[in-house]
Amino acid sequence: MWPANWQGMIAGDECPMCADMALPENPHSFWVAELPYSVVRLPRNQYMRGWTVVIFKRHACEMYELEPPELAGFWQDTAQVAQALNTIYRPVKINYGVFGNLCPHIHGHVLPQYDTDDPHKPINMHEQTVLWDPIEYERQIARLREALHVL
């Protein structure tokens, strides 16, 4: 059930996120921006429009492993991404999740919720796969970078 190389992933030696977070694109997502404590990426699967991921730069697994400035900085970055998504999409609410059951490297999911969404529906990234045309990813990345003031 849990990944076979869990201990290696926890230790960081076998952490796939450490290996591919800086790539322009990887099987899961596209690079958007680097913030002080994190890398921002756009998942290919846009089943929730605007879903964005904020990956802590160094390897760590739980919130209490971070030094106070790191913890503060990671959430400042995440808040900045949420504000950017709010500017772009004007959702009803934004959800924030740090799970890591499949990859324990600290990364936050920022998920806008719209009035057409069922507010009772749990977050399930495997619910469906919605892929965009390449030009749509490029547009969204440009809009995010502009809203994040990293142009």
User: Where do contacts with its own copies occur on this chain (CB under 8 A)?
Assistant: 1-3, 6, 61-64, 66, 68, 71-72, 74-76, 78-80, 82-83, 86, 92-102, 104, 113, 115, 117-120, 122-126
* Shortest Å distance, C-beta 130 to its own copies: 17
| Residue 115 structure tokens | 């009035």
* Shortest Å distance, C-beta 39 to its own copies: 18
Who's near 29: CB < 8 A, 6+ residues apart?
41, 42, 43, 44, 53
Q: Is 93 left (phi over 0), alpha (psi -120 to 50) or beta?
A: beta
* Shortest Å distance, C-beta 24 to its own copies: 27
Distance CA 89, CA 4 (A): 39
Q: Of 65 and 136, which has the nearer Cβ to its own copies?
A: 65
Decide: 16 and 104 in contact? Cβ < 8 Å. no
Q: Read off the amino acid at residue 140.
A: Q
Q: Of 68 and 134, which has the nearer Cβ to its own copies?
A: 68
Q: Of 106 and 137, which has the nearer Cβ to its own copies?
A: 106
* Shortest Å distance, C-beta 5 to its own copies: 13
| Residue 15 structure tokens | 């952490």
| Residue 128 structure tokens | 């469906």
Q: Of 8 and 97, which has the nearer Cβ to its own copies?
A: 97
Q: Of 116 and 133, which has the nearer Cβ to its own copies?
A: 116
Distance CA 73, CA 94 (A): 19
* Shortest Å distance, C-beta 2 to its own copies: 5
